[in-house]
């Protein structure tokens, strides 16, 4: 299989640092050219599923502008320019929850939309998180930090209580990664 080739790109809307919209001229492997392929640029982000020393999950109940009602969510945030995703994960865990962890597992990195881009999510599992400070998050949303058992997290995942795709994926991967202790 051959990849598609970008011949050119043009920004049509720039709302930096959050998002920009581009049109690409794309050439398919068979030579066909698509003149106006829509493309979205956004900052990469991290999601961290954290477990404390008692193997309880640190999960937020919060609101988000694009989500109806409240939702459950792992810790997360945007990668700053020049910052490595793992460093972002450490920073976000501390800022949002006041916790640090020394045991980290990368759960993978994933493109948000396979056809339109929109950034990459870097997913992590942090084990044996310990409280070291008060949270210093600058999030706009109201949020409450919960400590949930594995069974509670599994039930919530299956009930659709993690209402953002990357959050559900991060939690599912963390559950798989921790299924044997």
- pLDDT per residue over 14-65, tens digit each? 999 999 999 999 999 999 999 999 999 999 999 999 999 999 999 999 999 9
Asked: is 45-177 a CATH 3.90.79.10 domain? The reply is: yes
CA angle at 178 for the pair 155 and 126, rounded to the nearest 5°: 100
| Residue-range domain boundaries for the chain | 5-42, 45-177
Angle at 121 between CA 73 and CA 25, to 5 degrees: 135
Question: What six digits make up the tokens of 116?
Answer: 């339109």
Tens digits of pLDDT across the chain (181 residues): 999 999 999 999 999 999 999 999 999 999 999 999 999 999 999 999 999 999 999 999 999 999 999 999 999 999 999 999 999 999 999 999 999 999 999 999 999 999 999 999 999 999 999 999 999 877 777 899 999 999 999 999 999 999 999 999 999 999 999 997 5
Query: What pLDDT score does 40 carry?
Result: 96
């Amino acid at each position: 299989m051959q990849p598609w080739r970008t011949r050119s790109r043009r920004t049509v809307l720039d709302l930096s640092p959050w998002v920009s919209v581009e049109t690409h001229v794309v050439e398919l492997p068979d030579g066909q050219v698509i003149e106006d392929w829509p493309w979205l640029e956004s900052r990469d982000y991290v999601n961290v599923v954290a477990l404390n020393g008692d193997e309880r999950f640190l999960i937020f109940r919060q609101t988000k502008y694009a989500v109806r009602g409240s939702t459950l969510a792992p810790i997360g945030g945007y990668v700053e320019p020049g910052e490595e995703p793992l460093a972002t994960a450490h920073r976000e865990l501390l800022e949002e929850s006041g916790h640090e962890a020394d045991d980290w597992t990368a759960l993978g990195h994933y493109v948000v939309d396979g056809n339109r881009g929109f950034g990459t999510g870097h997913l992590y599992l942090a084990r044996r998180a310990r409280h070291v400070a008060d949270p210093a998050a600058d999030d706009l949303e109201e949020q409450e930090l919960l400590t949930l058992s594995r069974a509670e997290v599994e039930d919530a995942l299956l009930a659709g209580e993690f209402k953002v795709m990357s959050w559900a994926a991060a939690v599912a991967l963390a559950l798989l990664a921790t299924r044997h202790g």
